[in-house]
C-alpha cells in the first residue's frame, strides 16, 4: 500500500469537474483516504512549490494556485504515486495521452487541472503539509 497527494487545481474546481476527477481515482482502484477543499494563501502555495522557486514560472504558478479553491486528497493503493501520475497524464495537456485527466480537463501547462506527488518520498512530505493529522509519525516516511 502506498499513499500519494492529489490537488485538483482552481481551473478544474471552476469547471465543476471535482466529482468526475475523484471518480477516476476510485475507478482505477485508488481509495480516497482524506479530502478537503481549501483556498491557498500565497505563502502556502510558495512553500508547497518551494522546489520550483528559481523557475521562471514560479510567480505565475503561485498566482494561479491562489486564484480559487483547490481540493486536496490523499489517495491510497498499490503503486499509488505511479498510478496517479498515469491517470493525470503529462504536465503539459497538449502532450497528455488521450483519456488522461489533463487531456480531458486541462487547458494549458499552467491551468493543468491536477497536481500529483512525483515520488513516495515527496508524497510523504506533501501529505504532511496538508494532512498533518494523517501522518502517524513525525518523520518524512510514507506512513
Catalytic residues: 115
Of the pair 22, 45, the CB lying nearest ligand CMP is at 45
Closest contact distance (angstroms) between CB of 56 and ligand CMP is 8
* Distance between CA atoms of residues 110 and 122, nearest Å: 21
Q: 26: how many CB neighbours lie within 10 A of its CB?
A: 12
CA distances from 29 to 22, 32, 43, 121 (A): 11, 10, 34, 21
Of the pair 43, 95, the CB lying nearest ligand CMP is at 95
For 71, phi then psi, to 5°, come to -120, 115
Contact 84, 30 (CB under 8 A): yes
Q: Which part of the chain contacts ligand CMP (CB under 6 A), choosing from 67-75, 110-118, 119-127, 129-137?
A: 110-118
What is the size of the binding site for ligand CMP (CB under 6 A)?
8
* Distance between CA atoms of residues 122 and 13, nearest Å: 24
Q: Of the candidates 29, 37, 91, 94, which one interacts with ligand CMP according to CB under 6 A?
A: 91
Residue 75 near ligand CMP by CB under 6 A: no
Of the pair 32, 63, the CB lying nearest ligand CMP is at 63
Q: 38: how many CB neighbours lie within 10 A of its CB?
A: 12
Using CB under 6 A as the criterion, which residues of the chain lie in contact with ligand CMP when the complex forms?
Answer: 52, 57, 61, 91, 109-110, 112, 115
Amino acid at each position: 500500500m502506498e499513499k500519494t497527494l492529489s490537488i485538483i487545481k482552481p481551473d478544474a474546481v471552476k469547471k465543476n469537474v471535482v466529482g468526475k476527477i475523484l471518480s477516476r481515482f476510485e475507478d482505477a482502484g485508488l481509495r480516497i483516504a482524506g479530502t478537503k477543499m481549501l483556498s491557498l494563501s500565497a505563502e502556502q502555495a510558495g512553500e508547497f512549490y518551494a522546489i520550483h522557486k528559481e523557475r521562471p514560472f514560479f510567480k505565475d504558478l503561485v498566482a494561479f494556485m491562489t486564484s480559487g479553491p483547490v481540493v486536496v486528497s490523499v489517495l491510497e493503493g498499490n503503486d499509488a504515486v505511479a498510478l496517479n501520475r498515469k491517470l493525470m497524464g503529462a504536465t503539459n495537456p497538449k502532450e497528455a495521452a488521450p483519456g488522461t485527466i489533463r487531456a480531458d480537463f486541462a487547458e494549458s501547462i499552467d491551468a493543468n487541472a491536477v497536481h500529483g506527488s512525483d515520488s513516495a518520498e515527496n508524497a510523504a512530505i506533501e501529505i504532511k503539509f496538508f494532512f498533518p493529522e494523517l501522518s502517524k509519525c513525525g518523520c518524512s516516511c510514507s506512513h
